[in-house]
Amino acid sequence: MDPINIIILLNIVATFGANVTGAKRGLKSTVSEIKEKPKTFLQKFPPVVSMLSLVALILAVFQIGTMDYLEEYDVIRYIGLAVYLVFSWVQVWSFKTLGDNYSQEIMIKKNHELIIKGPFKIIRHPQYLCQILLNLGATAATFSYIVGFFTLIEIPIYLMRASLEDKLLAKYFSEKFSDYKKKSGFMIPFIG
């Protein structure tokens, strides 16, 4: 197996383990804890696309759904690997920073807090930015046209999802969110 693919496979296992606690918390949200949860396709569709992207990446590690690895493109693959590794761990940091506010669905909980520390200090949706960038990195590292396809689908979906989250946070944290919005970027630091 290709050394870049071995590193990616090991990282998938490591980040999966690191995200288990956050995922458990996100799945545990009971109806009694929820203040508002919009009905929208943005609740279920983005996680499904991300899961399909992960399956495609696992297949790519075994060179299924990839272009040929040519030595003259190794630099692109190494840069892609670096981007993939960095942003997969920044995403873990984002989920951990959210703590009990983490959920796989768009919602405001009864005891919800506005998180403005960690990666959220400079951008409001680091988890979505990281998902997009780590998938772009994975696409370059594995030359997977399937991961690339799912990444193209994810970009507008995560932009819409983040926008909906902003509206919900503005509704419940009005002035505090307005101040936070002035100091942070939407998905790019200090922009939006």
Q: Is residue 95 part of a domain?
A: yes
C-alpha span between 139 and 149 (Å, rounded): 9
Q: Please write down the long-range contacts of 176-180, taking CB distance under 8 Å and 24 or more positions apart.
A: 176/114, 177/114, 180/114, 180/116, 180/124
Q: What pLDDT score was predicted for residue 25?
A: 59
For the chain, what percent of residues have pLDDT higher than 90?
Answer: 78
pLDDT at 24 over 80: no
Q: What is the DSSP letter of 66?
A: B
Assess if residue 191 is contained within a domain: no
Residue 11 lies in a domain: yes
Q: Which range marks the domain in which residue 97 is found?
A: 3-183
Segment 154-163 mean pLDDT: 96
Closest CA to 88 of 147, 129, 59: 129
Residue 178, both tokens: 């307005």
CB 36 within 8 A of CB 108: yes
Q: Is 19's pLDDT higher than 80?
A: no
190 domain-assigned: no
Question: Do 40 and 164 contact (CB within 8 A), yes or no?
Answer: yes
Please count the structural domains in the chain: 1
Q: What is the CATH number of the domain that holds 102?
A: 1.20.120.1630
pLDDT, residue 1, reads: 83
Q: Quote the pLDDT of residue 59.
A: 97
- Answer yes or no: is 188 within a domain: no
